[in-house]
Amino acid sequence: MDIDLVYLWVNGNDPKWQAKRDACIGRPTERQENCKGRYADSGELKYSLRSIEMYAPWIRKIFIVTDDQKPEWLNTENPKIQVVDHKEIMPAESLPCFNSTLIEHYLDKIPGLSEHFLFSNDDMYINQPVTPATFFAADGLPILYMNRKPFRKLALWFRDNVKGKPLSMYLKIIRNAAELVEKYYGTYYGCKPHHNIDSYLKSTITFTNRKFEKEFSPMIPHHVRAADDVQRSVYSYVALAEKKGHLHYVSHKHSFRLHIDNHKLYEKFERYNPVFFCMNDSEFANDADRKAAIEFLERKFPKKSEFEK
* Farthest CA pair distance, the chain: 56
Spatial distance between the Cα atoms of 210 and 220, rounded to a whole number of angstroms: 14
**Averaged pLDDT, 99-113:** 97
Residues 6+ apart with CB under 8 A from 71: 9, 11, 45, 46, 64
Angle between helix axes 287-300 and 44-55 (nearest 10 degrees) is 20
Q: Is 81 left (phi over 0), alpha (psi -120 to 50) or beta?
A: beta
Q: How confident is the model over 162-182, as pLDDT tens digits?
A: 888 888 889 999 999 999 999
Cβ atoms of 145 and 198 within 8 Å: the answer is yes
At the fourth CATH level, the homologous superfamily of domain 3-300 is: Spore Coat Polysaccharide Biosynthesis Protein SpsA; Chain A (3.90.550.10)
- Whether the pLDDT of residue 66 is over 70: the answer is yes
Cβ atoms of 307 and 62 within 8 Å: the answer is yes
- Which secondary-structure segment (H or E) carries 170? helix 169-185
Please state, in angstroms and as integers, the Cα–Cα distance from residue 9 to each residue in 45, 100, 279, 282, 290, following that order: 8, 9, 14, 16, 16
Question: What is the structure's pLDDT at 39?
Answer: 67
Q: How confident is the model over 240-299, as pLDDT tens digits?
A: 999 999 999 999 999 999 999 999 999 999 999 999 999 998 778 888 999 999 999 999
C-alpha closest to that of 146 among 237, 278, 80, 222: 237
Question: What is the structure's pLDDT at 92?
Answer: 97
Rounded to 10 degrees, the C-alpha dihedral 218/187/197/14 comes to: 20
> Please, which residues bridge with residue 221 across strands?
none
Question: What is the structure's pLDDT at 88?
Answer: 98
Cβ atoms of 189 and 151 within 8 Å: the answer is no
pTM of the model: 0.93
Please state, in angstroms and as integers, the Cα–Cα distance from residue 34 to each residue in 8, 227, 280, following that order: 16, 13, 15
Pairing of the two strands 143-147 and 246-249: parallel
> Phi then psi for 107, rounded to 5 degrees?
-60, -30
Q: How confident is the model at residue 42 (pLDDT cuts 50, 70, 90)?
A: confident
Q: What's the length of the chain?
A: 309
Please state, in angstroms and as integers, the Cα–Cα distance from residue 25 to each residue in 12, 68, 106, 282, following that order: 14, 18, 21, 18
Q: Domain boundaries in the chain?
A: 3-300
Spatial distance between the Cα atoms of 170 and 257, rounded to a whole number of angstroms: 15
